[in-house]
Amino acid sequence: EPEVTQTPSHQVTQMGQEVILRCVPISNHLYFYWYRQILGQKVEFLVSFYNNEISEKSEIFDDQFSVERPDGSNFTLKIRSTKLEDSAMYFCASTQNMVSIYSNQPQHFGDGTRLSIL
Amino acid sequence: AQKITQTQPGMFVQEKEAVTLDCTYDTSDPSYGLFWYKQPSSGEMIFLIYQGSYDQQNATEGRYSLNFQKARKSANLVISASQLGDSAMYFCAMRGPNAGGTSYGKLTFGQGTILTVHP
């Protein structure tokens, strides 16, 4: 079964450094998402992406964050200047087609990247 | 704004018994979708079951069923015949329109419930 792939599985970065988290969504999916889960807490929405632009973002997704789909297969999340509080598990997810609130299409999640800021 | 509440931080169940994990939600939108995900200790998010707000019947998927009570705004997950491998964190999540009225599929998650299955 096709799956969402995230790399690396664990990233350790010095505070203030830039980090890029990579995701390869399922190939025929059109909607892409990033979520964050601070250790022991709930999963929080960061951003959704469709048709090569951000469709929605949360308050967490400030100017330090950016997303892009550089080559039609990868979907990346960049944090420009990392802070200690950016330490979390970051999940990429994708959905196949026109997202309908009537649809039973689940979001397919990757296994996550654990980001540790030192 | 949408809100999901899971009031049980932790639940314990004996192997082979059934267990109910609670989820209540709040939304002013008439159309929405409710999901349950399982997160084992390894960290991945595994989709379990879906319930649409207009679905007439409660959803079922194998040992998982959803007790959907729309008037009470609750969508409790029932796991029958618990297995040791069911020990994990369980998240309830809602998908619905964003503030602009269109849905790009954003999920709002509850705080999660840690389920421990005892042999």
DSSP letters, B24-62, are EEE-S-S--EEEEEEE-TT---EEEEEEETT-SS--EET
Residues B62-77 as b/e (b if ≥16 CB within 10 A, e otherwise) read eebbbbbeeeeebbbb
Question: B11: exposed, middle or buried (C-beta count within 10 Å: 0-12, 13-18, 19+)?
Answer: middle
Give me chain B's average pLDDT, please.
Answer: 92
* Structure tokens, A32: 């892409």
- pLDDT reading at B103 higher than 80: no
DSSP letters, A17-34, are --EEEEEE--TT--EEEE
How far does Cα A15 stand from its chain's mean position? 20
pLDDT band for position B102 (50/70/90)?
low
Chain B residues touching residue A108 (CB < 8 angstroms) = 47
- d(CA A56, CA A37) in angstroms, rounded, equals 18
Tell me how crowded residue B46 is: count the other CB atoms within 10 A of its CB: 13
CB contact under 8 A, A101 and B103: yes
Q: Enumerate the β-bridge partners of residue B44.
A: none
Scanning A20-94, the segments in alpha helix (DSSP H) are none
CB contact under 8 A, A104 and B45: no
Q: Name the amino acid, one letter, at A111.
A: D
pLDDT band for position B97 (50/70/90)?
low
Kindly state the average pLDDT of the residues B2-14. Answer: 95
Residue A108 near chain B (CB below 8 Å)? yes
Handedness of CA B103, A36, B10, B6 (dihedral sign): negative
- pLDDT reading at A101 higher than 50: no
Chain A residues touching residue B3 (CB < 8 angstroms) = none
Kindly state the average pLDDT of the residues B29-42. Answer: 91
Facing B44 at nearest CB: one of A95, A104, A109: A109
Closest residue of chain B to A57, computed from CA coordinates: B106
What is the nearest CA distance from A47 to chain B, expressed in angstroms?
8
What is the tally of helices (H) and strands (E) in chain B? 0, 12
- d(CA A60, CA A64) in angstroms, rounded, equals 10
What is the tally of helices (H) and strands (E) in chain A? 0, 11
Residue B89 near chain A (CB below 8 Å)? no
- pLDDT reading at B8 higher than 70: yes
